[in-house]
Structure 1
């Protein structure tokens, strides 16, 4: 159910029935020549709608701007600070709790948001302890991803516009993908990039971290369905814990 499409006269009862609000979080940033700037927004939105369909949750309007410091110098990228994100997420969480929601799910499509989301969840834990807060980013997909990928990951923690993320887009938002422009760019990311601020233009000119030409809808479906099942499970567990 799409929250912004509801009206004020009926929403109170629907909040009481649902109890769960899902906030898709994304970013506007470079994703190579074959994917749009809003890739993370499209992925978060599509995931949120699918999860809502299985849990009865209400999907909030997407928060489309994220912390993209690493890619801020690429054309089209728009970044906001962690501090801004934390403040906004905390304000939203408190307001949702005031409206009667008991579970707040921050469904993230952009890894760069992770630090702010986790800190916001901790602050909400302190300020509104009765609100269950989940922060989800493709949970439990490492095994299936390792089995399906044909090229090694360019980095141990993050992926970007590569075989994997492009496969996600082919499954969830194929209309925005131009595979005729997909490239293979597997950069040598130095160890120092994990321990010091490192703009990505220092190791990639494309913003692609892998071989996007190997992406397929089938890979995307296999991985995404695992993530969806895990997200649904976590939300249902949170709902069952209410009142305990």
Structure 2
């Protein structure tokens, strides 16, 4: 159910029946020539809708902006700070609790948001420990990626507009992917990028980190279905990881 499409006369009962809110969180940033700027938001929305169906949750209106410091100088990218994002998420969490929600799952489509999401969850834990807060970013995907990836990863953590993210997009929102414009761009990312602020334009002009041309819907399905299975288990079973 889409929370924003409910009305105030009926929504209270639906909150009490579910008590689970899901917030899709994305970003507006460069994703190469074959994916839209709002890729991360689209992915978060589609994944959230699938998750909500499986756990009987209410999907909140999406948060379409994120912390994109690394890509902020690329055409089209819109950046907000971690401090702004943390404050915003804490306010939302407090309001959700007041409305009667007792579980809140933030479904993230953009890795750059994860630090702020985790910090917001910790602040909320200290303020209202009765609200169970999750910050999801494709749980379980690392094991799947090892099995399906055809090319070597350009970085131990980053994946962006590449074989992996493009495959997820093909599965969740293929209508927004232009595979005719997909490229193979494998940048050299120096070790110092893990230890000092490094704008991405220093190592890529396209914002594509790998070979997007070999992305497939089937690869994306394996990643998404694994993530969904784990999220459902955590939301219903009460498991969590720090």
Would you say same fold, with TM above 0.5?
A: yes
Measured against aligned partners, the alpha-carbon deviations of 1:127-176 in whole angstroms (never above 9, x if no partner) come to 11110000000001111111001001111012000000000000000110
Runs of 4+ more than 2 Å apart = none
- TM-score computed with the length of structure 1 as normaliser: 0.97
Indicate the residue corresponding to 2:10 in structure 1: 10
In the TM superposition, residue 116 of structure 1 has moved relative to its aligned partner by 0.5
In the TM superposition, residue 186 of structure 1 has moved relative to its aligned partner by 1.1
Q: Which runs of 5+ in 2 are unaligned?
A: none
- Secondary structure of 2:204's match? coil
In the TM superposition, residue 184 of structure 1 has moved relative to its aligned partner by 0.5
In 1, Cα distance between equivalents of 2:51 and 2:104: 13
In 1, Cα distance between equivalents of 2:111 and 2:20: 23
Aligned ranges 1:190-229 → 2 under 5 Å = 190-229=190-229
In 1, Cα distance between equivalents of 2:48 and 2:10: 22
In the TM superposition, residue 98 of structure 1 has moved relative to its aligned partner by 0.1
Aligned ranges 1:42-57 → 2 under 5 Å = 42-57=42-57
- TM-score computed with the length of structure 2 as normaliser: 0.98
- Secondary structure of 1:173's match? helix
Q: Which runs of 5+ in 1 are unaligned?
A: none
Paired positions, count: 240
Measured against aligned partners, the alpha-carbon deviations of 1:15-35 in whole angstroms (never above 9, x if no partner) come to 010010000000000000000
In the TM superposition, residue 197 of structure 1 has moved relative to its aligned partner by 0.4
Measured against aligned partners, the alpha-carbon deviations of 1:40-75 in whole angstroms (never above 9, x if no partner) come to 000000000000000000000000000000000000
Indicate the residue corresponding to 2:184 in structure 1: 184
**Root-mean-square deviation (CA), in Å?**
1.0
